[in-house]
Amino acid sequence: MANEVHNLLLGLDRGEIIELVTRSGEPAYRAQQLLDGIYRQRLQSLAEISTLPVTFRKKLAEAGFSCGLPQIQKKFSSADGTIRFLVEFADGQTVETVWMPEGDGGEEGDGSEVEDISQGRRTRDWDRATICVSSQVGCAVDCQFCLTAQLGVKRNLTAGEIAGQVCAVLREQGVTPPEDRINLVFMGMGEPFLNYGNFMKAVRLLVEEVGIAESRMTVSTAGIVPRIHDFGLEAIRPKLAISLNAPNDEVRGRVMPLNRKWNLDRLIGAAREFPLRHREKLTFEYVLLRDVNDAAEHAREVAELLRGLRAKVNLIALNPGPRIDFQTPAQDRVAAFQEILIKSGIPAFVRRPRGRDIYAACGQLKRTIEITKEP
């Protein structure tokens, strides 16, 4: 158990909790109480798990156990309702987790969120929300347009730290799935498929213990081809998004160095073999970089590349940032690109940037603390 170093309960699955309870000589039903305290009530300390007898709580504390809910260290609020949380773990490392009321206008990508809002029962200023979750401290993939890349990778997050971001934000926002409609996108800092085991364990905890349906989750990969194959074999899994970002190997190799290891032939091959579920679609994200990958010719190449795939494309105009040597394309270029894809029979959506003013949008997560002006 990776968590045993810190003795954090958050991150342990049902089997591990049962083992702990049994080892402590407690009756088996205590396991459910412990799981509820950690994952459903999202309590911050053992003392708060009042369903457990004091003696058992004491025993756990003496063995060095704590709940393990990460701390929200800072909070940045955008004019558009997005909130970026700086989340701190037991060893002092931090990542960012983003709260987006009404989703990000793109993770469904089929316009359904628009309907949802009009039909939804409105009891507050949001009807559904999406939490964007990090999987690593920093990132090793080195995409040239992404600010997280500038951090390098510090370490993998544990399963408890990945699921814990969600628990900490749910607690902070005072919401409870499934009554509150919460979507998850694993699109924060890091490459989930380079931390595959911990990421998948976190998914199972979030589905089985926190109560968020897998159909409400999407994971995005920069294109770690062997893991795309493994992911397809999982019994419980989120939907899959692939960061395409270029129409051919020449451009993709320049903006995403990992393309030299897993080129488009292999990436699209893995996508074609991916076992989709009933009515499920693959998502391809495409960051538009002015005069690099945003020409009409490029859109036609993308259409050719994706021909026959059950897929949609989410277009993201570059979110700018310091030391990023690319520009955001003009809006009409984005619209023209979208139109070519649609006319070729590929559903394509333009993602609305969320929280750009607080460095919370795609590719902007680099733990910015001081916000002096709009990026």
Tokens read off for 116: 């949802």
Name the burial class of residue 98, with classes exposed (0-12), middle (13-18) and buried (19+) by CB atoms within 10 angstroms of its CB.
buried
Q: Is residue 163 within 8 Å of residue 210, measured between CB atoms?
A: yes
Q: How far is CA 298 from the centre of its chain?
A: 28
Q: Closer to ligand SAH at the Cβ: 56 or 76?
A: 76
> Is 115 an active-site residue?
no
User: 85 pairs with which residues across the strands?
Assistant: 75, 97
> Of the ranges 4-12, 122-130, 167-175, 220-228, which one interacts with ligand SAH (CB under 6 A)?
220-228
Taking the chain, what is the end-to-end CA distance rounded to the nearest angstrom? 42
Burial 333-368 (b: 16+ CB within 10 A, else e): bbeebbebbeeeebbbbbbbbbbbbbbbbbbbbbbb
Among 56, 76, 99, 145, binds ligand SAH (CB under 6 A): 145
Q: Closer to ligand SAH at the Cβ: 140 or 309?
A: 140
Q: Is 191 in the site for ligand SAH (CB under 6 A)?
A: yes
CA angle 299, 300, 301 (to 5 degrees): 90
Among 221, 259, 293, 368, binds ligand SAH (CB under 6 A): 221
Name the DSSP letter for residue 112.
H
Q: Is 350 in the site for ligand SAH (CB under 6 A)?
A: no
Burial 152-182 (b: 16+ CB within 10 A, else e): ebbebbbbbbbbbbbbbbbbbbebebeebbb
Q: Closer to ligand SAH at the Cβ: 96 or 191?
A: 191
Question: Binders of ligand SAH among 227-256, rule CB under 6 A?
Answer: 243, 245
Q: Closer to ligand SAH at the Cβ: 34 or 146?
A: 146
Minimum CB distance to ligand SAH, residue 359 (Å):
11
User: Helix count (H) and strand count (E) of the chain?
Assistant: 11, 12
Distance (Å, whole) CA 314 – CA 295: 16
Question: Binders of ligand SAH among 268-297, rule CB under 6 A?
Answer: 285, 287
Q: Closer to ligand SAH at the Cβ: 147 or 207?
A: 147
Question: Binders of ligand SAH among 307-346, rule CB under 6 A?
Answer: 316, 318-319
Q: Please name the residue that has the structure tokens 């984005």.
A: 334
Q: Closer to ligand SAH at the Cβ: 65 or 359?
A: 359
Minimum CB distance to ligand SAH, residue 256 (Å):
8
> Of the ranges 53-61, 72-80, 140-148, 151-159, which one interacts with ligand SAH (CB under 6 A)?
140-148
Q: Is residue 211 within 8 Å of residue 184, measured between CB atoms?
A: no
> Is 362 an active-site residue?
yes
- Contacts with ligand SAH: how many residues (CB under 6 A)? 18
Q: Which of 26, 67, 96, 214 is catalytic?
A: 96
> Of the ranges 37-45, 138-146, 173-181, 296-304, which one interacts with ligand SAH (CB under 6 A)?
138-146
Q: Which residues bind ligand SAH (CB under 6 A)?
A: 141, 143, 145-146, 187, 191, 220-222, 243, 245, 285, 287, 316, 318-319, 362-363
Catalytic residue ranges: 96, 362
